[in-house]
């Protein structure tokens, strides 16, 4: 495994699975509702990667589309499956 492709968003297998289970519209909505401390408001996350916490939550990390600062979004399991209940 090489680490040289740093700029390509990477997902762990688990994160890919959870992310893939969500509807495209939901994914877009989640990415467009990320809080950026630097901008002081809601922004869109770009160039993100994802991993799954031990709690089962899907954690996305990426960059603010406006200022380029790192931003993160944790999607709780209940949020992931809200559509299915
Ligand atoms: Zn920002």
pLDDT of 20-79, one tens digit each?
989 999 999 999 999 999 999 999 999 999 999 999 999 999 999 999 999 999 998 777
pLDDT at position 79 is 72
> In 10 A of CB 19, how many CB atoms?
20
Chain-centre distance of CA 73, in angstroms?
A: 5
Distance 62 CA to ligand 1 centre (A): 11
Domain residues for 49? 13-84
pLDDT at position 28, please? 95
* CB within 8 Å of 10: residues ≥ 6 apart: 49, 50
What's the gap in Å between 12 CA and the centre of ligand 1? 25
CA of 41 to the centre of ligand 1 (A): 8
| Centroid of ligand 1 to alpha carbon of 73 (angstroms) | 13
Tokens of 15: 């994160």
Total of domains in the chain: 1
Residue 84 has pLDDT above 80, yes or no: no
Neighbour count for residue 68 (Cβ, 10 Å): 12
> What pLDDT is attached to residue 5?
53
pTM, two decimal places: 0.79
């Amino acid at each position: 495994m090489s680490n040289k492709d740093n700029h390509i968003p990477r997902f762990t297998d688990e994160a890919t699975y959870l992310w893939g289970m969500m509807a495209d519209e939901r994914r877009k909505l989640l990415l467009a509702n990320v809080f950026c401390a630097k901008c002081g408001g809601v922004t869109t996350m770009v160039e993100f990667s994802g991993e799954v916490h031990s709690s089962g939550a899907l954690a996305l990390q990426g960059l603010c589309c406006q200022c380029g600062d790192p931003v993160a979004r944790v999607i709780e399991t209940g949020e992931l499956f809200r559509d299915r209940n």
